[in-house]
Amino acid sequence: MTETLHSKILGTGTPLLVLHGFLGMSDNWKTLGNQYAEEGFEVHLIDQRNHGKSFWSDDFDYDLLSEDLKNYMEAHHLENAMIIGHSMGGKTAMQFACSYPDLVTKMIIADIGPKFYPPHHQPIINGLNALNLDIITSRNQADSELGKQITDFGTRQFLLKNLYWVEKGQLGFRFNLKVLSEKMNEIGENIGATDVYNGPVLFLRGDRSEYIMPNEISEFRKHFPAAEMDTIDNAGHWLHAENPKQFFEKSMVFLKS
């Protein structure tokens, strides 16, 4: 039996699928999701495999994440949808649109490009694996321990949102840390070399982020001939969280066009 991704569905109208990034979850998009719902979208905030409340699996690559999305749309009887994907979720969206172009009407890719990214999450993975959740009894204690490895407060808060009480006195992570640690190289993988999606695509980059440079749009158009690019001010890689107002405004112009 095919397992279906967990999601939270907000509003009614045009289906809009939202895909979080690596070590994130659907909950990261709740505020923006409610705003899109108020604008006439049926917003599906999706947890990808090994993240959030979705199923865990030893297998993890973009072909599988893309197939998960296809199965999700079938389970929810969605003929097609618009997609917003951030970082890893953007890579999933790109692979999905190239593999199943008839299912995607347009998409927004947030601060990631269709190219290979060298592994760069190792310090975060090391910090998470150093946490002994058998002896940590509070979020504050987890934050204090994680702070020895990860100095950036915002990054720690993002990661610690995944902590939950498995049972009384026992904390656990929503994400599958073991598999994601082993499969980290998959996160930076590119979509297929000859993959193309001809529909409308908007790449949104943070002006302080190094994941996408403005001059790369010509390269991106080899995969996405209709691609446009715009920049979110005063934002790094987590542009939707750092400047949600401008992210919402620019995304709405594109989604409604």
- Which residues are catalytic, by number? 87, 237
Which tokens hold the place of 50? Answer: 């090994």
The sheet carrying 14-19 orders its strands as 7-10, 41-46, 14-19, 81-86, 104-110, 201-206, 227-232
The H-or-E segment that residue 100 falls in is none
Give DSSP secondary structure letters for 74-96. Answer: HHTT-S-EEEEEETHHHHHHHHH
Say if residues 86 and 236 touch (Cβ distance below 8 Å): no
Which tokens hold the place of 58? Answer: 């030893």
Return left, alpha or beta for 251; rule: phi > 0 is left, psi -120 to 50 is alpha, else beta: alpha
Say if residues 70 and 4 touch (Cβ distance below 8 Å): no
Around Cβ 111, how many Cβ atoms within 10 Å? 23
φ/ψ of residue 109, rounded to 5 = -110, 115
Q: With CA atoms as reference, report the closest residue to 49 among 27, 32, 67, 30.
A: 67
